[in-house]
Amino acid sequence: MEKPTTSPKKSHGSARQFRSAWLTFGFGCVLFAIPALTFFARWSPAPGAAADAPKVPREQRIFTPAHDEPVKFDDVVPATDATSSRRAQWGRAIASALYNAHQFFSNFKEEFALRNRLLRVHGGLQQAGLATSRSMDALQGKDGWLFYTGDDAIAQFRRVQPLDEKQLAAWQAFLETERAWLARQGIDFLVVVAPEKHTVYPEFMPAYLQPARAPSRADQLMAQLSPSSLNVLDLRPALLASKERWPQHAVFYRTDTHWNALGAYAAYEATARRLGEKYSGLQAAPLADFELSFRPGRGGDLARLLGRQTDMSEEHIEFKPLGTRAFPAQESIFFRDGAGQFQEKIVAQTTGAPLQRAVFFADSFVCDTSYLSFLSQHFNSLTVFRNVDVPHIDRQAVQELQPQLVVLEFAEREFVDFSPPQE
């Protein structure tokens, strides 16, 4: 009598493996399905696949810097002559396919099924059990405070890498060169330095991080610039005073890099006070002109780095103008600079303000907070160019706009090994 070639146990095991394979395949399909559906629901042709301007959010427009003209297809992909039209069509088809494949996988990376829940669980376990954070750019402090660690922020806090004489001289030369050029155009110049959160709230940094008994980089630069005729506004004293003024509320977000509305108002007050020394009639709006509201909400940008934006609460503060006072509307405009890179400018306009026109070159402490709303009340036209890298002034933009005032704002984190732009 022959033995069966396949035992019941082996058949049962094969069936189990078959079901497991199908379950794994089905789970993978679900992971891909969600980002795929969201991707194709908002799909648009790749730049170069059509003659239209690149798609941006509805409230934003793309302009060239010189004449506010829409960006054409020829600005994105060079035109080809008729003899190479077929080759161009194939090239565009391949470029479009590669572009959309890149967009799909980028979308999948950000939106695959259960992503946010998994990140929250992972970040929560690490913070609760290991007192560490998942992101290299977010540091877990005391009492639920998060701190930014990019751009050499920890070394700045610990004061272990001071600026040398060459670096300090480079900063001073850069700022004085810009001041001199603006003065030849009859334009006033103000430099504004925004403090980091760990400067205002060092008590919430981890206990194992202690600053050395030495001047900070900001201290060094202020000492270097004090003998000069540069108009430099150091906002550290204003934010520290606001911290004492509002002991029941923070002036920085606990889970974000930036100051909140209370901190923005303190920075605005200090800026208006400094500008009032030059421009008579410019005074900060008093607190009595606003209704303040305090409400809980989602966490900020540092909580997002940890995947915990929805389960880390944050106090959100709003200033609502009272009476006839109102914040001017703001418009974000994207354009190509001289190097062909997309840049952003924010334009706010009002009427009857004491100053005609001002131009800011600033980072997210101005562009992404209510500081801009407060200050825009005092200018008939206020244009802010977002600086995403090192602080700089776009002279072409200044010549086109011809403002009364140019303000260069940057945060403490910019005090790194700095090489001023070449003439």
Report residue 325 CA to chain centroid gap.
28
What confidence tier does 224 reach under pLDDT thresholds 50, 70, 90?
Answer: very high
Structure tokens that stand for 135 in this block: 């992101």
Looking at residue 48, its pLDDT comes to: 41
pLDDT, mean over the chain = 79
Looking at residue 58, its pLDDT comes to: 30
Q: Who wins on pLDDT, 90 or 134?
A: 90
Q: Who wins on pLDDT, 101 or 63?
A: 101
169 located within any domain:
yes
350 located within any domain:
yes
Residue 134 CB burial class (10 angstroms; 0-12, 13-18, ≥19): middle
**Which of 112, 127, 152 is a domain's end point?**
112
Q: Confirm if 310 and 116 have CB atoms less than 8 A apart.
A: yes
C-alpha to C-alpha distance for 363 and 341, rounded to whole angstroms: 17
Q: Determine the average pLDDT of the residues in 162-183.
A: 94
66 located within any domain:
no
What separation, in Å, do the N-terminal and C-terminal C-alpha atoms of the chain show?
A: 96
Q: Who wins on pLDDT, 169 or 31?
A: 169
Q: Name the DSSP letter for residue 101.
A: H
Summarised one tens digit per residue, pLDDT across range 269-283 is 999 999 999 998 899
241 and 108 co-located in one domain? no
What backbone phi and psi angles, to 5 degrees, belong to 148? -80, 135
106 and 159 co-located in one domain? no
361 located within any domain:
yes
176 and 96 co-located in one domain? no
**Which of 90, 112, 134 is a domain's end point?**
112
Structure tokens that stand for 141 in this block: 């402090």
What confidence tier does 387 reach under pLDDT thresholds 50, 70, 90?
Answer: confident
64-68, 97-101, 295-299, 314-318: segment of lowest average pLDDT: 64-68
Residue 382: strand pairing partners = 348, 358
46 located within any domain:
no
408 located within any domain:
yes
Q: Determine the average pLDDT of the residues in 97-109.
A: 57
Coil vs helix vs strand at 411: strand
Q: Confirm if 346 and 364 have CB atoms less than 8 A apart.
A: no
409 and 353 co-located in one domain? yes
Structure tokens that stand for 106 in this block: 């980028």
Looking at residue 103, its pLDDT comes to: 55
Per-residue pLDDT at 10 exceeds 60: no
Q: Confirm if 44 and 55 have CB atoms less than 8 A apart.
A: yes
What backbone phi and psi angles, to 5 degrees, belong to 114? 70, 10
45-59, 93-107, 207-221, 312-326: segment of lowest average pLDDT: 45-59
Overall pTM > 0.75? no
Q: What angle do CA 75, 79, 85 make, to 5 degrees?
A: 150
Looking at residue 388, its pLDDT comes to: 76
277, 296, 330, 397 from 406: Cα distances, Å: 16, 36, 19, 11
C-alpha to C-alpha distance for 5 and 12, rounded to whole angstroms: 14
107 and 204 co-located in one domain? no
99 and 200 co-located in one domain? no
What confidence tier does 337 reach under pLDDT thresholds 50, 70, 90?
Answer: confident
Looking at residue 49, its pLDDT comes to: 39
405 and 344 co-located in one domain? yes
Q: Who wins on pLDDT, 157 or 122?
A: 157
Q: What proportion of the chain, given as a percentage, has pLDDT over 70? A: 68
**Which of 94, 112, 130 is a domain's end point?**
112
What confidence tier does 264 reach under pLDDT thresholds 50, 70, 90?
Answer: very high
Q: Confirm if 302 and 147 have CB atoms less than 8 A apart.
A: yes
What confidence tier does 5 reach under pLDDT thresholds 50, 70, 90?
Answer: low
38 located within any domain:
no
Q: Determine the average pLDDT of the residues in 234-247.
A: 97
Looking at residue 72, its pLDDT comes to: 33
Q: What angle do CA 358, 343, 222 make, to 5 degrees?
A: 55
Q: Confirm if 146 and 135 have CB atoms less than 8 A apart.
A: no
197 and 233 co-located in one domain? yes
Per-residue pLDDT at 189 exceeds 90: yes
Angle between helices 217-225 and 165-184 (to 10 degrees): 50
Q: How many CB atoms are closer than 10 A to CB 395?
A: 14
235 located within any domain:
yes
Count up the domains in the chain and report the number. 2
89 and 194 co-located in one domain? no
Domain that holds residue 105: 82-112
Per-residue pLDDT at 90 exceeds 50: yes
Coil vs helix vs strand at 104: helix
Q: Who wins on pLDDT, 219 or 336?
A: 219
C-alpha to C-alpha distance for 55 and 40, rounded to whole angstroms: 15
123 and 106 co-located in one domain? no
Q: Who wins on pLDDT, 128 or 244?
A: 244
C-alpha to C-alpha distance for 195 and 218, rounded to whole angstroms: 9
134-143, 183-192, 228-237, 264-273: segment of lowest average pLDDT: 134-143
322 and 227 co-located in one domain? yes
88 and 204 co-located in one domain? no
C-alpha to C-alpha distance for 363 and 28, rounded to whole angstroms: 41
